[in-house]
Amino acid sequence: MAAATLTTLEALEESGFVKDDDRAALEAVAARYAVAVSPDMAALIDPDDLDDPIARQFIPQSAELVILPDERADPIGDHAHSPVEGIVHRYPDRVLLKAVHVCPVYCRFCFRREMVGPKGDGTLSGAALDAAFAYIAAHPEIWEVILTGGDPFVLSPRRLADLMRRLAAIDHVRIVRFHTRVPVVEPARIDTALVAALKESGKTVYVALHANHPRELTPEARAAIGRLANGGVTLVSQSVLLKGVNDDPQVLAALMRGFVEARVTPYYLHHPDLAPGTSHFRLTIEEGQALVASLRGHLSGLCQPTYVLDLPGGHGKAVVAASSVQDDGEGGYRIMDFRGQVHAYPPRGD
Ligand X SMILES: *Cc1c(COP(=O)(O)O)cnc(C)c1O
Residues in binding site for [4Fe-4S] cluster: 103, 107, 110
Contact by Cβ (8 Å): 266, 212: no
Is 90 annotated in the active site?
A: yes
Choose the contact partner of 96 out of ligand SF4, ligand X, none; CB within 5 to 8 A by kind.
ligand X
Compare residues 106 and 281 and give the one whose CB is closer to ligand SF4. Answer: 106
103 binds, among ligand SF4, ligand X, none (CB under 5 to 8 A by kind): ligand SF4
* Residue 282, binding choice from ligand SF4, ligand X, none, Cβ under 5 to 8 Å by partner class: none
Measured from each CB, the residue nearest to ligand X is 90
Length of the chain: 350
Task: Output the CA–CA distances (angstroms, integers) from residue 298 to 33, 195, 280, 315, 346, in the order listed.
Answer: 39, 35, 29, 33, 24
Q: Residues 245, 248, 254, CA angle at the centre, nearest 5°?
A: 85
112, 166, 203, 215: which is the annotated catalytic residue? 112
The Cα–Cα gap between 98 and 76 comes to: 15
Q: Binding of ligand SF4 at residue 116 (CB under 6 A)?
A: yes
Q: How far apart are CA 195 and CA 190, in angstroms?
A: 7
Query: Among this protein's residues, is 303 annotated catalytic?
Result: no
Between residues 181 and 213, which has the closer beta carbon with respect to ligand SF4? 181
Q: How many whole angstroms separate alpha carbon 345 and alpha carbon 273?
A: 36
Output 107 or 173, the one with its CB closest to ligand SF4: 107
From its phi and psi, is residue 202 left (phi > 0), alpha (psi between -120 and 50) or beta?
left
Q: Catalytic site residue 20?
A: no
Q: How far is the CB of 325 from ligand SF4 (least distance, A)?
A: 33
Which region, judged by CB under 6 A, interacts with ligand SF4, from 106-114, 159-167, 245-253, 307-315?
A: 106-114
CB 206 within 8 A of CB 235: yes
Q: Return the number of the residue (17 or 178) whose C-beta is nearest ligand X.
A: 178
* Closest distance of CB 92 from ligand X, Å: 10
Cα distances from 346 to residues 209, 332, 333, 334, in angstroms, run 40, 6, 7, 9
Binding window for ligand SF4 (CB under 6 A); candidates: 13-21, 22-30, 146-154, 258-266: 146-154
CA–CA gap between residue 190 and residue 114 (Å, rounded): 27
| 199 is annotated as an active-site residue | no
Contacts 24+ apart (CB under 8 A), 155-162: 155/99, 155/100, 157/191, 157/193, 157/194, 157/196, 157/197, 158/197, 160/194, 160/197, 160/198, 160/200, 161/196, 161/197, 161/200
User: Could you tell me the smallest distance in angstroms from the CB atom of residue 299 to ligand SF4?
Assistant: 25
Give me the residues that bind ligand X (CB under 6 A), please: 76, 88, 90-91, 94, 96, 146, 317
Output the smallest distance, CB 112 to ligand SF4, in A: 5
Q: Closest CB to ligand X among 90 and 210?
A: 90
* In the complex, least distance from residue 29 CB atom to ligand X, rounded to whole angstroms: 26
Spatial neighbors of 174 by CB under 8 A, at least 6 apart, are: 143, 144, 203, 204
Work out the burial of residue 111: count CB atoms within 10 Å of its CB; fewer than 13 is exposed, 13-18 middle, 19 or more buried: buried
Residue 107 binds to ligand SF4 (criterion: CB under 6 A): yes
Q: Verify whether residue 106 is a known catalytic residue.
A: no
- Catalytic-residue membership of 110: yes
* Nearest one of 227, 82, 223 to 157, comparing CA atoms: 227
Instruction: Judge whether 152 and 125 are in contact, CB under 8 Å.
Output: no
Q: Which of 110, 146, 163, 190 binds ligand SF4 (CB under 6 A)?
A: 110
Count of residues binding ligand SF4 (CB under 6 A)? 11
213 binding partner (options ligand X, ligand SF4, none; Cβ < 5 to 8 Å by kind)? none
Using CB under 6 A, list all residues that contact ligand SF4.
Answer: 103, 106-107, 110, 112, 116, 149-151, 181, 210
Catalytic residues: 90-91, 94, 103, 107, 110, 112, 273, 310, 317
